[in-house]
Amino acid sequence: MAFFPRSLYDSDTSFTPLFRLLDDFDNYSRKGVSGRRTGMPSWQPKFDVRETGEAYELHGELPGINKEDVQIEFTEPQSMLIRGRTERTYTAGTPPAGLIEGTTRGGAITEGGEESKKAMPETKKSDKATYWLSERSVGEFSRSFNFPTQVDQESVTANFKNGILNILVPKAKKHESKRIAIN
């Protein structure tokens, strides 16, 4: 007989939205307490951690981040730190005439005396823009993972593709006792 109804511990129930709401509230309340902002804002990327018989697999969402902006290091024998930063960037410019609807320019093909012109990005110094909604994660991030067993730090591999960081952390081989024969 179960002490709690099955719906309380059903694995199909996802608490992810609740945890994200709590994270957002925590971030909001911290901004109000400090009164001043020191440095860049911080955020925590979401990770899945999976244990197999031979290794730990970490899969993290790092949207809009370049792999050059991410560092992975072991701070202790069984503790790994992942950190980095991302910034909000915008590009403004004039598209080539062939890409604007209603223009009759020849597109990519140029004839005899015509010169082809490339669109040059315009940089606007206007700070009059107001954010109506800011949901993207920007600033510095840091996540620390502590493994319950010893890991083989020398064999750790990491891949970064399409905004997903995949890290494979092999478990250290267990020390086997060896019997010594006496001559």
Q: Which residues pair with 161 in a beta bridge?
A: 164
Give pLDDT tens digits for 107-117.
Answer: 444 444 444 44
Give pLDDT tens digits for 38-55.
Answer: 555 677 888 999 999 999
Round to whole Å and give the CA distance between 99 and 119: 11
Residue with tokens 């009759």: 104
Architecture of domain 38-90+135-173: Sandwich (2.60)
Angstrom CA distances, 180 to 174, 175, 177, 183, stand at 19, 15, 10, 10
The whole-chain average pLDDT of the chain stands at 74
pLDDT less than 70: residues of the chain: 1-13, 27-28, 30-41, 88-127, 134-137
Q: Taking the complete model, does pTM exceed 0.85, yes or no?
A: no
Round to whole Å and give the CA distance between 128 and 125: 9
Domain ranges of the chain: 38-90+135-173
